[in-house]
Amino acid sequence: MVVSSEAGQWIVPPTQAIWMPAHTAHTVRMVNAVTMRTLYIQPDAARGLPQRCHTVAIPDLLRQLILSAMDIKGDYTADSRDGRLMGLLLDELNFLPVLPLHLPLPTHPYLVEICRQLLDAPDDKRTLLEWAQVVGVDPKTVQRTFAQQLSMTFGQWRQQARLLMALERLATGRSILDVALGLGYDSPSAFTAMFKKQLGVVPSEYFRLSE
């Protein structure tokens, strides 16, 4: 899935999840066929849980707790088996591993223009200097605004954008060669090196590990 809000975009690979605080306006786009389960947490039970969206890994214990929770019918008391199961499920939510699959989006007009064009054409290899000339702003000012708005350099943002687009394209069955060249990498090996550095595995293994 690709989840979008004003704060950016998140890729949610198979068997993973997105944590989303209440009242977050968002859209969800399915890259391919998706089956999902949703946990709704009462406000008084969500204290201490994150206040920002994150793509998160789902450990085996939490996965089994979710499956067991689906069989609970009606009300339950805190000291019952069902109550203890739900309590443990809430405890486990506090320890969800956050995955680096978020792409922040800017609001500053010239950053919006740069980022929009890069999302439309991820194989565009223009440098920061060239982009600064496009928007008519000093390169140092562009870099400083990237850091202030997105907590990333221009190069880091472009790499993250390419990584998330790579995951989306790989999920549809496109080849590593096609994805690498389509994102502006000179070779599949250069793309694979970036992918492994960011996610710890090569592209050919990533979705197999999440099965």
Contact by Cβ (8 Å): 149, 111: yes
The alpha carbon of 183 is separated from its chain's Cα centroid by a whole number of angstroms, namely: 18
**Per-position DSSP letters for 178-210, written without gaps between them:** HHHHHTT-SSHHHHHHHHHHHHSS-HHHHHHHT
pLDDT for position 49: 87
What is the fold, at CATH topology level, of the domain defined by 106-209? Answer: Arc Repressor Mutant, subunit A (1.10.10)
pLDDT for position 48: 83
Q: What is the pTM of this model?
A: 0.84
The alpha carbon of 180 is separated from its chain's Cα centroid by a whole number of angstroms, namely: 19
The string of pLDDT tens digits covering residues 135-156 is 999 999 999 999 999 999 999 9
Give me the average pLDDT of each 10-residue run along the chain (211 residues): 93 92 92 89 85 93 94 91 94 91 94 96 96 96 96 96 95 93 95 94 81 53
- Region of 173 on the Ramachandran plot (φ > 0 left; ψ -120 to 50 alpha; else beta): left
Beta-carbon-side half-sphere exposure of residue 45 (alpha carbons within 13 Å): 14
pLDDT for position 105: 94
Domain borders along the chain are 2-93, 106-209
195 Cβ contact partners less than 8 Å away, ≥ 6 residues apart: 163, 166, 201, 202, 203, 206
pLDDT for position 43: 83
pLDDT for position 210: 57
